[in-house]
Structure 1
Amino acid sequence: MTREVTHEADGPAILDASDTGDDGKIFVCRCGLSDSKPLCDGSHKAAEDEADGVVYKYEGDDPEGERREIDEIAYVDE
């Protein structure tokens, strides 16, 4: 499973002790769908049934947005 996600941030996210959960751990988003990036908010649950070898795009990078399969990710040089 692969996802195309649009990122608009242009700098690093700085994490500190306030980002830890009740268990003292920090969970970092790897699916690209979290509203609290770089922290995980559980949005990856929307992607649990994605098939291997398929590239997906979620409308608006929203886990509740329409999910569609795409042929490839196009990289644009600016």
Structure 2
Amino acid sequence: MAREVTHEERGPTVLDDDDKGDDGLIYVCRCGLSDSQPLCDGSHKATADEEDGVVYKYANDDADGKRREVGELAADEE
């Protein structure tokens, strides 16, 4: 599976001890849907049933937004 996500930031985010969770770890978003970028907020749970080889777009890059298929990956892109 893949996701189209629009990013507008142009620079890095510095993480520090304030970004650590209760377990002392820092969780970085990899799905692109977190409202607290670059930190994970659990939005990836919305992607659990995405199918391999399909590209998805979530309305407004929001895990609660309507999801639609926007295409399929070519075999050499997977």
Q: TM-score, normalised by structure 2?
A: 0.90
CA distance in structure 2 between the aligned counterparts of 1:22 and 1:65, rounded to whole angstroms: 28
**Corresponding residue for residue 48 of structure 2:** 48
**Corresponding residue for residue 20 of structure 2:** 20
Question: Relative to 1, partners in 2 of residues 1:51 and 1:72: Cα closer, same or farther, differing over 3 Å?
Answer: closer
CA distance in structure 2 between the aligned counterparts of 1:46 and 1:72, rounded to whole angstroms: 19
Runs of 4 or more, structure 1, over 3 Å off, are none
* Runs of 5+ consecutive residues of structure 2 not aligned to the other structure: 74-78
CA distance in structure 2 between the aligned counterparts of 1:52 and 1:72, rounded to whole angstroms: 9
CA distance in structure 2 between the aligned counterparts of 1:36 and 1:72, rounded to whole angstroms: 28
**Corresponding residue for residue 37 of structure 2:** 37
Percent identity of equivalent pairs: 70
CA distance in structure 1 between the aligned counterparts of 2:38 and 2:2, rounded to whole angstroms: 18
SS of structure 2 residue aligned to 1:71? strand
Provide the alpha-carbon RMSD of the alignment.
1.3
CA distance in structure 1 between the aligned counterparts of 2:47 and 2:72, rounded to whole angstroms: 18
**Corresponding residue for residue 71 of structure 1:** 71
**Corresponding residue for residue 76 of structure 2:** none
* Runs of 5+ consecutive residues of structure 1 not aligned to the other structure: 74-78
Aligned residues: 73
**Corresponding residue for residue 11 of structure 1:** 11
CA distance in structure 2 between the aligned counterparts of 1:72 and 1:6, rounded to whole angstroms: 18
CA distance in structure 2 between the aligned counterparts of 1:42 and 1:55, rounded to whole angstroms: 20
